Chain A
Amino acid sequence: MRELSPFFAKELLSAYLEGSLDKERQNAIEESLAKNADLKALFQKMKIQKDFLEKLSKITPRAELLSFIDSPVPGMKSKLQKYSWKKMSSTTQWSVQLFVIGVLVVTTVRYFPWLNMARVIQRAQPTAPLLKRAVPIEDDMEALKARPTYGPEWPKSFPSPELYAQQLEESRKKNQAIADIVTRTDEEVVQSSNDTEESEEAAPQRQGFVWRGTIKVDELDEESTGKITEIVVSLGGKKAGQVELGWKKGDSRYYHFTMPEANYTEFEQRLGDIGHVTLKKEKHPRVMPEGQMRVIMSVEASK
């Protein structure tokens, strides 16, 4: 056989070490080893490392560890098998089911967003909550109250069953009628509740006004304010708002009152005797009842 190159001989060293080369190649390697000192040194070192590895194979896990590894693993599967649903007694199964249902019910009642849901429904059907509000539930509740059995001991204060049925039917008709009437939206209800007094007397689409202004007097004292208050009262003026007529507001006096519109000319004339009057009619969202006017004015010293 042709002589092996050092590279090829090196590549075959591991197979030679294993003893897996054919006779011809084995001879060729042995020839190379005899001729090449470096190759021989490498081979010797590789042999030493092989012996080292074989020595390492004496390492052994302890018997306890081996028996632990070989024993069935007490994992989740075995635990699940031990505590499986089928192996539970029927009492335990019922208890668990009841407990789960109880928890679900409590959780749903407590945490489900009922209010938000009701709001969503309300937005979708604006008349639905109004129906609830308009129909007096108490009426129905009264009808549902327990009553004694009809017989000789039937109390006189209670109507007989026939009369009671008739009353109940009337009550139902009445409630139905109220429910039918209610068709307004939420906004209409709120508006109507705010402006109940005005809406009863004022005609729709009317414009509201307010008279604003000042009276300049020479000297702002009790005498002048007393006179102005007297004029207002004598011409049918009534205080509006929270404060009294002639309320002291800094260096001025504040008047907010309603008065019959017919007396306005006389009111202006009489105030003109006391001081210089400046009153302007301004538009205002509040509509006053027919024939009434609202005045907001301040009395100030002219100097």
Chain B
Amino acid sequence: MAGGGGNVAGAQAGDSSVYSKLALNFFYLCFADEGLAVHSAMEALKTFNKKSVSHSGTPKDVLMVSELLVTLKNMRKKIARGKLSEISNQSSPNWTMESPETFAHWKTFLKNFDSESEVVLILRYVLNFSIDVIAQALKVPKGTVYFRIGRGLEFMALQERSNLKEKE
């Protein structure tokens, strides 16, 4: 199960609502769109539930992250083809957040983010999956995960600086 703190604190193995929460948050942070997040989370959870029975040897966290990534890829393709425009909903009455400004700030990053770094950062720091799990799910070495984290954080820092300059 994903590491302690944040979204998945106190979760027990097999607790399906924890994975539901993870999936919802993951897609909500990727798309910043409630309709797309719910639709994608349902898709990912449906496949995850099926595979968790058939792929009993694979750790559930790895399976979950894999399904999140596969679904994200499929959804992005559908969005590019304009197939999901009718379910899009930019409002977020179904999510609570301590500071809405933080989310608004995140949205500004999303506009220019490199998708690989963005996904790794969400998985690691927001959803608290371990580096091992992320590396296994992405089927890349751990060093690559560290590299993507570093690149993502550096990008955010640079973006922050340019935002500040713009405000000035």
Which A residues form the contact surface with B (CB < 8 A)?
10-11, 13-15, 17-18, 20, 42, 45-46, 48-50, 52-62, 64-66, 69-70, 73
Contact = CB atoms under 8 A, between A and B. Distances in A.
B71 interface: no
A246 B103 CA distance: 108
A64 to B, nearest CB: 7
Contacts of A62: 93-96
Contacts of B23: 69
Given A57-B125, A61-B24, 6 more contacts: A45-B161, A59-B28, A59-B29, A65-B24, A69-B24, A69-B45
Given A14-B150, A18-B146, A49-B157, A66 B24 contact: yes
Nearest to A55: B102
Interface string B26-41: 0011000000001001
B38 A56 contact: no
A42 B95 CA distance: 33
Contacts of B42: 69, 73
B7 interface: yes
B157 A60 contact: no
A57 B21 contact: no
The dominant DSSP class at the B interface is helix
Given A49-B156, A53-B126, A60-B21, A20 B150 contact: no
Nearest to B122: A53
Given A48-B157, A54-B6, A73-B42, A18 B125 contact: no
Contacts of A66: 17, 20-21, 24
Nearest to A60: B96
Contacts of A18: 131, 146, 149
Nearest to B150: A14
B153 A14 contact: yes
Going nearest first, the 6 A-B pairs with the smallest beta carbon separation are A14-B150, A57-B6, A45-B157, A53-B125, A46-B153, A49-B156
Contacts of A49: 153, 156-157, 160
A61 B29 CA distance: 11
Contacts of A15: 146, 150
A248 to B, nearest CB: 80
Given A65-B38, A69-B41, A69-B45, A59 B21 contact: no
B25 interface: yes
A74 to B, nearest CB: 12
B114 interface: no
B127 interface: yes
Contacts of A10: 150
B150 A13 contact: yes
